[in-house]
Amino acid sequence: MKKQTAMRRDWIATARTLSEALPYLQRYDGATVVIKFGGHAMSDDAAMDSFARDIALMQQVGVNPVVVHGGGPMINEMLDKLKIKSEFVNGKRVTDAATVEVVEMVLSGQVNKRIVQAINAQGGKAVGLSGKDANVMVCTQTNPDLGFVGTPAKMNPAFLRSLAEADTIPVIAPIGAGTNGETFNVNGDTAAGAIAASLEADRLLLLTDVEGVKNSAGEVVTELTPKQIRALTADGTIAGGMIPKTETALMAIEGGVRAVVILDGRAPNACLLELFTDHGAGSLIRAPRDDG
């Protein structure tokens, strides 16, 4: 009897949660949400399955998800296996011709297809591609000293929209095409920001291994404006690996993305919590409403 009572309470709680989610389901119906997937969740099978289930559910309720992924640890592992040494300039990997071949092989092959398979196994309809396909992301060389590292220069959002119209989820490896036939390695956050801006996405979710942007007291700040981000960066509160993520957020917002959320991808159902609950997750960054 006690077990049946507990189960009934669980069912009631589930029904209440679904009911409370209705305004958010309506809010994001037809919305484009770009998700940068990386960090711990990529190498953990249970976390991968949870992420894939969230993406499949988002598609099921009318959201148009676009997944952009990284894969740094997998690249490092393959380079070590092939005994290809990496050099670094100011902390950034020099990507020579041999290295960029490995990067493309790992990202567009091993990592990309694993994510696609996981989403499809959960009932979604995903297809894997890289920025080279259909010229989704044409790049210029970021810095000659870094070799084949690219900066997005020209995008093809129409192709990605056509996939959404066909109820297909793009899963994109951050590999870009050069105008002279080059292949460029692109930072995953940078690629996600450029893709989100080209689509004028409603949301860009940057999944990381931290809870969000923290203030000087070490507390997560749940909502920030670009002006506050710049101030926290100037005084050193935002530092290290968080800087590239907040820079991506600012560029995405300037490019037309309504809001960017930096959140902990290790947390169960992080994407669903952010989109479909009052609680939200991580740090929301957007321009003040009176700025348009």
Task: Output the domain CATH number for residue 186.
Answer: 3.40.1160.10
pTM of the model: 0.90
Q: Which residue is associated with the tokens 């506050």? A: 228
Total structural domains within the chain: 1
Measured between alpha carbons, how far is 255 from 196 in angstroms, rounded to an integer?
8
63: containing domain? 31-291
Phi first, then psi, for residue 231 (nearest 5°) are: -65, -45
Residue 3 domain flag: no
Residue 12 domain flag: no
pLDDT at position 100: 94
pLDDT at position 290: 43
pLDDT at position 131: 97
pLDDT at position 79: 92
Residue 6 domain flag: no
CB 198 within 8 A of CB 131: no
DSSP state of 133: G
Residue 220 domain flag: yes
Kindly give the confidence (pLDDT) of every residue in the chain, 292 residues in length, as a single tens digit, with 9 standing for 90 and above: 555 665 566 666 666 666 676 776 777 888 999 999 987 677 788 889 999 999 999 999 999 999 999 988 888 899 999 999 888 776 677 899 999 999 999 999 999 999 999 999 999 999 999 999 999 999 999 999 999 999 999 999 999 999 999 999 999 999 999 999 999 999 999 999 999 999 999 999 999 888 888 888 888 888 899 999 999 999 888 988 888 899 999 999 999 999 999 998 888 888 888 888 877 778 999 987 644 3
Residue 264 domain flag: yes
pLDDT at position 164: 95
C-alpha distances in angstroms, 240 versus 29, 35, 112, 134, 282? 36, 22, 27, 35, 18
Measured between alpha carbons, how far is 236 from 152 in angstroms, rounded to an integer?
28
Residue 19 domain flag: no
Measured between alpha carbons, how far is 109 from 114 in angstroms, rounded to an integer?
8
pLDDT at position 64: 96
pLDDT at position 19: 66
Residue 58 domain flag: yes
pLDDT at position 12: 67
Residue 285 domain flag: yes
Element (H, E) at 239: none
Measured between alpha carbons, how far is 253 from 286 in angstroms, rounded to an integer?
7
pLDDT at position 82: 93
pLDDT at position 155: 97
